[in-house]
Chains A and B, each alone.
Chain A
Amino acid sequence: MKYLENRKYIIQGIFLLVGAVFALRLFYIQVVDSSYKQAAETNAIKTIIQYPFRGLIYDRNGQLLVQNTPVYDLMVVPKEVKQLDTLRLSNLLELPLDDVRERLKKARGFSYVQPSIFYQKLTTQDLAHIQDNLIDFPGFYINARTARGYPHQSLSHALGYIAEISPKQLEDSTYKGYRPGDYIGKSGIELEYEKYLMGKRGVKYKMVNVRGVEKGPFKEGAYDTLSIAGQNLVSTIDLDLQAYGEKLMNGAKGSIVAIEPATGEILAYISAPFYDPNLFTGKDYGKNYMQLLQDKDKTMFNRPIMADQNPPGSIFKLVQALIALEDGVITPKTQFACNKALVNCHPHPSPLDLYGAVQHSCNPWFFQAYRLLLNQNKSKNTFTDTSIGLKDWREQVLTFGFGQQLGIDIPGEKKGIIASPEMYDRVYGKNRWKYSTIYSLSIGQGELGVTPLQMANFMAIVANRGYYVTPHIIRSVGEDGKPLKEYQERHYTSVTPQHYEPIVAGMAEVVRAGTARRANLAKVGIEVCGKTGTAQNPQGADHAVFVAFAPKDNPKIAIAVYVEHGKWGGQSAAPIAGLMIEQYLTDTVTIKEQEKWVLSREYLNIKSK
C-alpha cells in the first residue's frame, strides 16, 4: 500500500507542473511578447483623425480661387457586413464584380472591426442613388469629407492639385505624420504651401467594442488634440486678367506671364493648353490625370517655368544692348550699317543708332555691337579675348535672373541655358572658337534658353530700370495679410539705371511704329513698350515671343507672351500682350479688332516668308 500512497506525490507534482507551465506561458504572452498589447490597441482604441479644413486661396482682389467642397466616401466595416449581395453592389457602384471582391478583401486586410474606405469620392448624384439602396447593405455607410473645388476653372498649372499621399512619400521622413489615405499637395501652390494649407490634424482616441460601437473617450480624452484649420492664402493673381488671358490662349499653345514690376507679384500665369482643375477632384482623378499626362499637346507641362529649351530670339537683343552700354562699348548714338553680309536682315532704313536698331530689330547692328562687347581686346589672342568677353558677359546676364532659378513659389522651375566659355570649350575645344563661331547669341539665338517667366521678369527689370523682385504668386499667408518677407528684396542688375532709358525709348518705338503695332494702346492713352521676337524651332513653325511693359513711365504691368508656332511675335504674341495690358490697366478692352484677330487664330495661317 505504501507505494500507492507515494503516488500522491506524482499527482501533486502534476498539479504543480501544470501551474508552473501556465505561469511561464503567461509570463511569455504578458511580459515578454509585446505584440498582444499592440493588437489590443488596434482592437479597442479607434483613432479618429479630425481632418482640418484645408486653407482657401483667394486672388489679389478677394475672389475665391480654391475652396473646399464636400465629397462622399463609401465606408465599410467588414465585421458588420451580413449576407452581402456582391452582384447587386457591383451593379450599384458600376464596378466589376472582381473589383468589388478585391476591395472587400483589402478592407478586411486593413481591419475587421474598424471602418475603411470602400469606394472614394462619390459625386452628389451617385450619392443619392447609392444612399437609397444602402439599407440593404449592413456594414456599409457614407462618410462625408471635403475635397478641393475650383469655382472658376482657372489657373490650373499654378494652383496644382492635391491627391492621396503616395507610398513613396510615406516612407520619406519629410512627410512624417502623414498617414496612408491622407491628401497632400502634389504640385503648384498646393505643394509649395502644403505646410500652411494643411493645418494641423486633430486626433481623438475612442474606445470601441467588438462591433465598432464607440464606448467613450480613451483615458478621458487625455491624449486627444483638436484640429486647427489650414491658413488661407492670398494670391497675387488677378482672376479677371487670368481668365481673360486663358480666353485669349484657348486653343493655342504657349505661355503668358504678367508681373507687377515694383513688387514682383504675378498677375497672370497661363500655360496653354490648360485644364479644368476640377478634373482632379472627382473619382475619375486617376483616369483624367493619365489622359492629360499623355496627350500630345503636353497639357501637364508647366510651360511658364519649364519651357526653357527654346532660344528667346530678338528680345534678347535688349539684354545685349544694356550690357554693351554698361561696358561702354557703345553709346545710344552708336551707328552701324545693316550689313547683310554679316547676318541676314529684313528691309529697313540704314544705318541706325541704338533706338532705331531696337525699333527695327536690326540683326547686323546687334552683330556688331555684341562683337564689340565680347572682343574688348583684353587679350591679344582673339580666341582668349572672346572667351574672356563671353565670361564677363555671362556674369552680367545672370544678374538679370537668366540661367538660374528665379525662385518663384511654384515647384518645378527650370534654370534655362546661358552660353558659357566652358560650354564652347567642350564642343569646340579650348581656344578653338571665337566670335564668328558664336555670333548668333547677339540676336538671341544659339545656346540660349529662357523660360517665359524669366522673360516677364526681364520686362519687370526694364520697367523698374534696373532691378527685380523675385516673382511670386502668393502675397500673404494667414490672417495678418502682410506680404511675405521672402519677396521684399530688390535684386539689382549689373547695368546702371541710366542705361535703361534709351532701351525703353526704343521699345516704345517698337510698339508705336515698329514690329509690334498690334500692341499699341495709344488711343486709350497707354504708352506700351515692347519687343518682339521669334524663336527658331527646328520641329516646325517658329515660336512667337513678345515682351512688354506699360505704361512707359511708372509701369504697372510687365508681360511676356510666348505662342508656340506663332511665327511672328508682332502678329500673334503682341496683340495678346496689348489686350492683356489694356484689360489689366483699364478693366475693359477697346482694341476689339485685335481681340477678334487673336481669337480667330488666323495668325497661325500666315505664310512664312
Chain B
Amino acid sequence: MGAEQQVLPKYKVATRSSHRTPNLLTHHLDWVTILLYFLLVAMGWMNIYAAVYSPDNIVNIFSMDINSGKQLLWIGLALILILVILIVDYKVYEHLAYPIYGGIILLLLVTLVIAKPIAGSRSWLDLGGGIRLQPAELAKFATALAVSKYLSSVNLRQQKFKDQMVLAAITFVPPIIIVLQNETGSALVFGAFILAFFREGMSPLILIIGSVAAAIFILTLLVPKLYLIIGVILLMGAAVWLDYRLMRRLKTMVAMLVLIVGMIFSVDYFVNDILQPHQQNRIKALINPEADPLGYGWNVTQSKIAIGSGGFWGKGFLEGTQTKFDFVPEQSTDFIFCTIGEEHGWIGSTVLLGLFVFLLIRIVSIAERQRSVFGRAYGYCVASIIFFHFLVNVGMTIGLAPVVGIPLPFFSYGGSSLWSFTILLFILIALDANRAKDLAR
C-alpha cells in the first residue's frame, strides 16, 4: 500500500475514489490514533478485570458474570460501530449534524420523562433485556457535531452577538436537560467546548476570565475572604506599580475589583446555600478530605491510599489490595485509575498519562490538517471532551479535582460511555480519512 501511495498523487486518488466505494481500510486511516484507541481499550479491559478480581473467588476474565466479560461484549459491539462509521458516507455527519442533535435532545427529554430514577439519577433509558442506555453520553458527540456545523457556517471572530448566543444555546441546551436528569457530572463536560471555541476565534479574554474565575472560586474555599480581598488589591497595586499606564484605566480596575469581591461573596453563598449537600461535600472533600475521611472524604482518601500504596513499580497485576477489597468505590468505572496506580505504580500511571496526552495531541494535529472548518472544529471538540474527562477523572482520584462521576475515556467499564467515545473518535477518523475529498475553502 505504501508503494501505491508513492505512485499516485493524493489528489488523484481522492477524486477518483469519490466515484466508487472508498477503500477506507487501506487508505488514509490514521493508524496511530486507532492503535492508541485499541491500546487504551485493551488496557481498560484488563484493569476492569483486576478491579473486580477477588482472590477467594477467582472468575475467568471472559465470564459474563463480571464486568470484564461484559466489557468485552461492549468492545465487540464497539467494533461493529466502528465499521459502520467508517463505511457510512462521511458527508452524512456534516449533513445530518442538526437532525442528529435534535434527535438526541428529544431522546434526552424523553428520558427525563420516562426514566426510572437509579441512584437519584433519571438518565438511564431501559431498553429491555437488562440493557440500559444513557443518552447523556450520546449527547456529547451529537453536540460536537452541531457545534462544529454551526462554527463552519459563521465567523466567530466577527463577534456577532446573535451568533454567539446561538452557539451558546447549542452548547448548553443538552447539559441543562442533563442537569435536570440529575447527572451534573456529565453536564459539566459541555463546558469543555470552550477549548474548541478558543481555537475557532473566541477571544482569549473569555478563557482567561474563565481561568481567573475558577482560581478565585477555589481560593475562596481555601483562604478567608478578607485575606483574599487584600491579596487581590495588593496584586492590582503591584500591576499599577509595574506599569504606570494602567492608572489611565483606573475605572476598569475598580470595576474589576468590585466584580471580584462580588464573586468572592457569591461563591461563598453559592457553595453554602445553593449547592446540594452532596455537591458541597465534593468540594469540601477536594479542599480538605482529611476533615472527614470516613464521610465525604472517603472516596478521595481511599483513592489516594490505593494509588499511593502502589509505589514506583506497583504491586503487580491482580495484586492490589485496596482496589480489590472495595476500599475504593466504583473501582471499575469512575475510579478505574486507582487500579492502575496501585498495581502498576508510578511507571504504569505515567505510561497511561502519556498515552492520553499523546492521543490528545494527535487529535489536535488531525484537526489542524482538516480542510473544512467543520472537520477542524469537530476535531477540537473531540479533543476537548476527551481532555475534560481525562482532567477531571484522573484529577479526582489523586485529589486535584472534585469527585465528579464521569468515566475515563475508553478505559472505564460501561457500554454507553465506551460507545459514545468510540463514535466521537471514529467520526473524526472517518472525516480525516476523507479529508482530501473536501476542497480547500
Q: Which residues of A contact B (CB under 8 A)?
A: 4-5, 7-8, 10-12, 14-16, 18-19, 21-23, 25-27, 29-31, 33, 35-37, 39-41, 43-45, 79, 108, 112, 207-211, 215-216
Contacts and interface: CB of A to CB of B under 8 A. Distances in A.
Interface string B290-328: 000010000000101111111110000000011011110
Given A11-B198, A215-B56, 17 more contacts: A7-B198, A11-B195, A11-B383, A12-B360, A12-B361, A15-B360, A19-B353, A22-B400, A26-B307, A26-B398, A30-B308, A30-B312, A31-B346, A37-B308, A37-B311, A207-B55, A209-B327
Given A25-B400, A215-B54, A216-B55, A15 B308 contact: no
Contact of A11 (B199, B306, B308, B398): B199
Given A11-B199, A26-B341, A36 B304 contact: yes
B364 A12 contact: yes
A7 B361 contact: no
B356 interface: yes
A22 B364 contact: no
B30 interface: no
Q: 6 closest Cβ contacts across the A-B interface?
A: A36-B308, A40-B309, A209-B325, A19-B357, A44-B321, A210-B326
Given A4-B199, A37-B309, A44-B322, A15 B55 contact: no
Given A29-B307, A37-B309, A215 B325 contact: yes
B387 A15 contact: yes
Contacts of B391: 18
B398 A25 contact: yes
B368 interface: yes
- Tell which of A5, A19, A211 has the most Cβ of chain B within 10 Å: A19
A32 to B, nearest CB: 10
- Tell which of B157, B321, B395 has the most Cβ of chain A within 10 Å: B321
Contacts of B143: none
A386 B390 CA distance: 99
Interface in B328-386: 341, 345-346, 349-350, 353-354, 356-357, 360-361, 364-365, 367-368, 380, 383
B341 A30 contact: yes
Contact of B346 (A10, A30, A210): A30
A181 B365 CA distance: 64
27 contacts: A4-B200, A4-B201, A7-B198, A7-B199, A14-B195, A15-B383, A18-B387, A19-B353, A26-B346, A29-B307, A30-B312, A30-B345, A30-B346, A30-B349, A36-B307, A37-B308, A37-B309, A37-B311, A40-B309, A40-B321, A43-B302, A43-B321, A45-B321, A108-B294, A207-B55, A210-B325, A215-B56
Contacts of A215: 54-56, 324-325
Contacts of B341: 26, 30
Contacts of A5: 368
B394 interface: yes
A209 B326 contact: yes
- Dominant SS among interface residues on chain A: helix
A216 B325 CA distance: 11
A15 B349 CA distance: 16
- Tell which of A21, A208, A210 has the most Cβ of chain B within 10 Å: A210
A18 B353 CA distance: 9
Contacts of B350: 23, 26
Interface in B391-409: 391, 394-395, 398-400
Contacts of A23: 349-350, 353
Contacts of B395: 22
Given A4-B201, A7-B198, A22-B394, A40 B312 contact: no
Contact of A21 (B321, B360, B390, B400): B400
Contacts of A216: 55-56
Contacts of B368: 5, 8
Nearest to A45: B321
Contact of B311 (A31, A207, A211): A31
B291 to A, nearest CB: 15
- Tell which of A18, A23, A211 has the most Cβ of chain B within 10 Å: A18
Contacts of A16: 357, 361
B326 A211 contact: yes
A215 B320 CA distance: 13
Contacts of A22: 353, 394-395, 398, 400
Contacts of B360: 12, 15
A29 B398 contact: yes
A112 B354 CA distance: 37
B308 A35 contact: yes
Given A8-B364, A22-B353, A209-B326, A30 B311 contact: yes
B365 to A, nearest CB: 8
Contact of A31 (B302, B312, B327): B312
Interface residues of B, number: 51
B371 to A, nearest CB: 13
A18 B398 CA distance: 13
- Tell which of A11, A12, A112 has the most Cβ of chain B within 10 Å: A11
Nearest to A207: B321
Contact of B305 (A10, A27, A36, A112): A36
A44 B55 contact: no
A68 to B, nearest CB: 33
A162 B44 CA distance: 56
Interface string B207-249: 0000000000000000000000000000000000000000000
Contact of A15 (B56, B310, B321, B357): B357
Nearest to A21: B400
B327 A43 contact: yes
A44 B327 contact: yes
A207 B320 CA distance: 11
A41 B354 CA distance: 29
A32 B29 CA distance: 43
Nearest to A4: B201
A25 B400 CA distance: 9
Contacts of A15: 357, 360-361, 364, 383, 387
A30 B307 contact: yes
B246 to A, nearest CB: 25
Contacts of B198: 7, 10-11
A168 B356 CA distance: 55
Contacts of B346: 26-27, 30-31
Nearest to B308: A36
B308 A19 contact: no
Contacts of B356: 19
Contact of A30 (B56, B302, B310, B321): B310
Nearest to B346: A30
Interface in B157-174: 157
Contact of A43 (B56, B200, B305, B380): B305
A47 B151 CA distance: 62
A25 B307 CA distance: 11
A44 B325 contact: yes
Contacts of B201: 4
B355 to A, nearest CB: 10
Contact of A8 (B199, B307, B308): B199
Nearest to A27: B346
B380 to A, nearest CB: 8
Contacts of B354: 19
A33 B304 CA distance: 11
B144 to A, nearest CB: 16
- Tell which of B200, B308, B345, B356 has the most Cβ of chain A within 10 Å: B308
Contacts of A209: 324-327
A18 B157 CA distance: 28
A522 to B, nearest CB: 79
B200 A40 contact: no
Contacts of B349: 23, 26, 30
A97 B325 CA distance: 35
Contacts of A45: 321
Contacts of A14: 195, 387
Interface in B252-267: none
A45 B275 CA distance: 38
